[in-house]
């Protein structure tokens, strides 16, 4: 299937950095996404991540404050 687009800190992550996208065999119903975060991503405690799959973003574009996924990035 098509790989989702990953956006980290408002920058698109190259497709080759998405190393796995699919259901986790040990946790039914859990979609696992393995992504190498680009080296250019600045460190921070709340770097925003958005996943776009089949044109649908993981956050609510009509209400951007409703769902916001963040990760901690250390260098």
Q: For residue 17, what pLDDT is reported? A: 94
pLDDT digits (tens, 9 = 90+) for 19-69: 999 999 999 999 999 999 999 999 999 999 999 988 888 887 677 667 788
Per DSSP, 65 falls in state T
Q: For residue 68, what pLDDT is reported? A: 84
Q: For residue 14, what pLDDT is reported? A: 94
The Cα–Cα gap between 60 and 8 comes to 16
Q: For residue 27, what pLDDT is reported? A: 95
Q: For residue 64, what pLDDT is reported? A: 66
Q: For residue 1, what pLDDT is reported? A: 61
- Which residues, at least 6 apart from 23, have a Cβ–Cβ distance to it below 8 Å? 29, 30, 31, 32
């Amino acid at each position: 299937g098509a790989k989702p687009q990953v956006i980290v800190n408002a920058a698109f992550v190259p497709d080759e950095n998405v190393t796995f996208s699919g259901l986790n065999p040990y946790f039914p119903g859990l979609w696992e996404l393995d992504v190498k975060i680009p080296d250019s991503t600045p460190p921070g405690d709340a770097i925003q991540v958005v996943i776009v799959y089949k044109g649908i973003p993981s956050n609510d574009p009509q209400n951007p404050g409703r769902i916001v996924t963040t990760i901690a990035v250390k260098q």
